[in-house]
Structure 1
C-alpha cells in the first residue's frame, strides 16, 4: 500500500502538542499537510499559538495477520481560516457523502464563524512504515 492510499482511509490520527497534550483527530491529507477542524470547543488553537511544534501518528494493526502500518511525523501546526470545501471533504471521509445525515455536532460547526482548520506541516515528507511482526 502506498502513503496516499493509506492516508485516504478514514483513520484516526493522534496529535501530540507541548504540554504534553495528546488528542485524537479525524484528518484530511492534502497538499503535503494534514488538516483537521478546531473551534471554541477545543484548547488546541491556544496550545499551538503558544508553541506550534507537534507530532502526529496514524497506525493500524490487523491482529489476524500481524500487519502493522504506521505514519509518524513531526512538524509545525497553524490555525487557519475555515476552508469549507476542505472541511466537507474531510467530514465526508468519516461520515458519508450526505451532510443531512450527519449528527449536528459534526455539521453545526461548519456554520459557526469560530470554526477553523489546523494545518499540520510535517518537517519531512511522511513515510508509510510496515512494522509487521
Structure 2
C-alpha cells in the first residue's frame, strides 16, 4: 500500500524558481564585481590633467531579458579623443609650464588595456560569484 503525496510538482516548480532567482542575482553581482575591477584599473591608467576625465567615470549594469551587460564609460565630452590618442606626447612638457601632456601613469587606450590586464581577475571573480 503506497502513500499518496500531493504538491510534489508545485514544490519542484518553486525550488526551480528559487534556484533561478539565486542564479540571476549571482550573475548580476558577478558582472558588477567584474565592472568594478576593470573600472579601478582603468582609473589608474586614465591620464589626469584637471581630474575632469577621471571624475566623469561611470559604471552601469543593465538587464535585458536573459542578457546582463556591464558598462564602464566616461561622460567628459573629450573622453573618446583621450582614449584613442596615440600617446606620443606622453611626458612632454606643455607650453607655459602647465605640466606634462600625459602624466606618468596615463596610458592611451586606457579602457581597453585595463580590460585586457584584468582578464584573469575578472574570470576568477565571475567563477567565484557564480558558484552555488
The two structures have a TM-score, normalised by structure 1, of: 0.29
The two structures have a TM-score, normalised by structure 2, of: 0.29
Flag the structure with higher strand content.
1
Flag the structure with higher helix content.
2
